[in-house]
Amino acid sequence: MEQIPFTSSAPNTLGIELELQLIHPGTFDLAAASDELLAQLANHPIADRVKPEITRSMIELNSSVHEHPMGLQAEMREMRDVLCEAADAVGVLVSGGGAHPFMRWQDRAIHDSPRFQYLAEMYGYLARQFTVFGQHIHLGVSSGDEAIRMVHGLSPYVPHFIALSASSPYCEGVDTLYSCCRLNAVNSFPLSGHMPADVADWYRFEAHISQLRSTGLAESIKDLYWDIRPKPEFGTVEIRVCDTPLTVERACQLAAFAQALAVLVSRDPAPGDKAWLAYRSNHFQACRFGLHGSYVTPDGERVRLQDHARALLERLMPIAGELGTTDMLVALRDEIQRGGNDARWMRGQFNRARELPLLVETLTRAWRNGREGVQVVDPVPARRRIRATSEPLTDNPLVNDALAHDVQALATPEVAGTRNWQNRLH
């Protein structure tokens, strides 16, 4: 069995990756401009931390390693400003969010690199549908065994990360009724999900990877689309379920939450076997309903995720005090008390003007300036209207009318019928 070396890192260090949308300033659709943007940044000091992603409408920002989330936030603000300046020079805009509200996957162009071309050939249309945008959080650990223990300890809190970061309610021109629809694209890949529960240490992880390789199921750890996975070359545990937030400030608050939670789980006993019983259900509830979803604890108690997250943040406050991140966790706690996340804010903005291009334009301003004080502008009558209630239409007007009626009934999750149905689920 081949051994996988693990690079030791200082515990409690962290870094993040942000996948971002490149937006055409006229249509507010995605723009295939990553090559031009990378060329514009080629001689800048941050060039090695700006990378392409699988399609040319995506760009990725990679932070350096930090001990404190406030240092991370200062770096990410600087990188954001540099990226926006380069995007202005190229003639595109930049946006956060987990999924573009009305892009067509058929129009996406695969980035010209051997790995991305292999993925396109291997997975077919799934590769282009994978034009979704996530935040990855890396937490430093000292050894492979500590990494496996950390993955197990963090796994019961995957729904909390999903709900707190959710920013993908719209997809292909419709309101999906999900807070986070991005993970539906990730879950299409065969090696998605969670690390097997019986992988209890680094030796068993190496054995698992060896078995995957010997059977041709995976070539490397990169082929594992797990919600949380070890990253041995970095010496980290990588949390992969978060949508890209609309602002760098929210991204850094989530990193601070992850850092404090990592300290907590390192002190708590490892979760028992029951922790895996409700994993998929908890995952779905967080994606579908966000903070208003149900959550089954490792002890088998069924509670509202919002209440559990609020109680968890109270447990984390003393640790945040030790780490100097109390203000960042308080901001998250206040957001929970308001029942909000970026997905809810996006729906509120859409309800002002009822046009998805206007929503996307608002998202580009929120990325540049922050969410505070940003709201959708008045619609321009001459612009072609793309609504969250639209679906691809046929050439038959009778069919079109029927489709429009059906989609209208599902378009807004706040209608009375949908709310009653959701309440029945909980």
The per-residue DSSP string of 13-39 comes to -EEEEEEEEEE-TTT-SB---HHHHHH
What are the CA-CA distances from residue 162 to residues 60, 84, 245, 289 (Å)? 20, 27, 11, 10
Query: For the residues of 193-210, what is the DSSP string, one character each?
Result: E---TT--SHHHHHHHHH
Distance, in Å, from the CA atom of 398 to the CA atom of 403, rounded to the nearest integer, reads 9
Q: For residue 402, give both structure tokens.
A: 């029927």
Determine phi and psi for 188, rounding to 5 degrees. Answer: -75, -20
What is the rounded distance in angstroms from the CA atom of residue 173 to the CA atom of residue 171?
Answer: 5
pLDDT band at 275 (very low <50, low <70, confident <90, very high): confident
Position of tokens 């050939």?
Answer: 121
* Contact present, 256 and 73 (Cβ < 8 Å): no
Query: Residue 128's pLDDT is what?
Result: 85
Coil, strand, or helix at residue 168?
strand
> Given pLDDT bands bounded at 50, 70 and 90, which one contains residue 313?
very high
Confidence of residue 401 (pLDDT cuts 50, 70, 90): very low
Q: Judging by beta carbons within 10 Å of its beta carbon (0-12, 13-18, 19+), is residue 165 exposed, middle or buried?
A: buried
Q: Alpha helix locations (H) across 107-224?
A: 114-123, 125-129, 144-154, 158-165, 182-186, 202-214
Comparing CA positions, the residue from 185, 166, 307, 308 lying closest to residue 250 is 166
Beta bridge partners of 66: 14
With residues binned 3-state (H G I as helix, E B as strand, rest as coil), the percentages for the chain, rounded to 5, are 50, 15, 35
Neighbours of 422 (CB within 10 A): 15
Terminal C-alpha separation, the chain: 47
| Three-class DSSP labels, 58-87 | EEEEECCCECCHHHHHHHHHHHHHHHHHHH
Tokens read off for 295: 């959550």
One-letter amino acid identity for 36?
A: E
Residue 375 confidence (pLDDT) = 75
Given its phi and psi angles, is residue 324 left (phi above 0), alpha (psi -120 to 50 degrees) or beta? left
State whether the Cα torsion 180-181-183-187 is positive or negative. Answer: positive
pLDDT, tens only, 325-379 = 999 999 999 988 886 899 999 999 999 889 999 999 999 999 998 877 677 776 5
pLDDT tens per residue, range 200-232:
999 999 999 999 999 999 988 988 999 999 999
pLDDT-derived band at 387 (thresholds 50, 70, 90) equals low
Every domain of the chain and the residues it spans:
13-369
Q: How many CB atoms lie within 10 A of CB 34?
A: 24
Please give the share of the chain, as a percent, with pLDDT higher than 70: 88
**Residue 426 — very low, low, confident or very high, per pLDDT cuts 50/70/90?**
very low
Q: Strand, helix or coil at 316?
A: helix
Contact 143, 266 (CB under 8 A): no
β-strands 192-193, 50-52 pairing: unpaired
pLDDT band at 130 (very low <50, low <70, confident <90, very high): confident
> Average pLDDT of 108-112?
87
The CATH class of 13-369 is alpha beta
For the record, the structure tokens of 202 come out as: 């680094």
For residues 179 and 284, is the Cβ–Cβ distance under 8 A? no
Give how far Cα 294 sits from Cα of 160, 173, 286, 299, 377, Å: 11, 27, 8, 14, 35
CB half-sphere exposure, 86, CA atoms < 13 A: 24
**The pLDDT of residue 58 is above 50:** yes
